[in-house]
Structure 1
């Protein structure tokens, strides 16, 4: 079994896997509602139209793993998938590049409570990994015809214990 220490979630580090969703200086800012609201515009490329798919919005409620042990990864070949936390709680993001799954290429990020992620189509990722308590996430992903879920179970030697 391997151990990994999460790295900070930044737009640059996460770029090979998708986008970080956050109100940052990198985002286009647009004043709306007569100047009472700032719109942080176009933060993620929602890509769900393959095979006749359409975007859906859902809430996911996830429980922490204790200990955080990564055993299963999944990908969605027909659409992107975004997760935005609804409580002020940090969470982990575990990913591997799209294509043939390579357990040696897994990276783990520590997402701050104000950050969400949008996994690009085909990117391998672990299911939700809240850290301290059961947490709710706003999820935008694909519904429609076709098989949009591949899962892979890691061999015991490839499983990863995430260090605090």
Structure 2
């Protein structure tokens, strides 16, 4: 069984797979008479192919049993998919360039203040929460139109949960 080590989620490390959604290093716009700050252009939502529309959802994720087995990868050929945690809890992200090539897999530890926007066609594991009942805001393509491909792995991988580089 292959065990994936987990690295800290950074914009540079995640760039081949999509975007890290965070406000660190950005200058906010003061709005609402100074009682709120607005951060613009956090992600490029890509769902317009073949007349697609944006869907905004609320997911509530459960913790998977340890060790976390990586058995399924999925991708969305018609649009990006963005996940943003709403409870400040850290979570995990697993991606790859080819589900048949174990060396292409990467695992990332995201802080509770980081989201990801998976690029169109990016292979990724379904949501991996580290705290039960973790809510996520999800922005992706509306409709059931063939925008999901799944690949079940012949050989199970697992995550090395003993060394998670979190905040």
Q: 9-18 vs 72-81, which deviates more? A: 9-18
**Distance in 2 separating the partners of 1:100 and 1:62:** 23
What SS is found at the alignment partner of 2:50? Answer: helix
Counterpart of 2:160 (choices 149, 159, 163) is 163
The residue aligned with 1:66 is 65
Aligned residue for 2:91?
A: 91
Name the structure 1 match of 2:120.
Answer: 121
User: Which whole-Å deviations, capped at 9, do the CAs of 1:57-84 have from their partners, x for residues lacking one?
Assistant: 0011111111211110000000000001
Name structure 2 gaps, 5 residues minimum.
162-167
Report the equivalent of 1:6. Answer: 6
Range with bigger deviation, 14-23 or 35-44: 35-44
Using structure 2 for the length normalisation, give the TM-score: 0.89
Q: How do residues 50-61 of structure 1 correspond to structure 2 at under 5 angstroms? A: 50-61=49-60
Contact 2:99 / 2:151 at 8 angstroms: preserved in 1? no
TM-score under structure 1 normalisation?
Answer: 0.91
In 2, Cα distance between the equivalents of 1:138 and 1:16?
22
Of 122-131 and 61-70, deviating more is: 61-70
Count of paired positions: 160
Q: Indicate the larger mover: 136-145 or 54-63.
A: 136-145
Deviates more, 1:101-110 or 1:76-85: 101-110
Gaps of 5+ in 1: none
Preserved CA contact (<8 Å) 1:28 1:42: no
Q: What is the alpha-carbon distance in structure 1 between the residues aligned to residue 159 and residue 144 of structure 2? A: 35
Alignment check: 8 A CA contact 1:94 1:108 kept: yes
Given that 2:73 and 2:99 are in contact with CA atoms closer than 8 Å, whether structure 1 keeps it comes out as no
Is 1:138 aligned with 2:106? no
Q: Is the 8 A contact 2:23 2:39 kept in 1?
A: yes
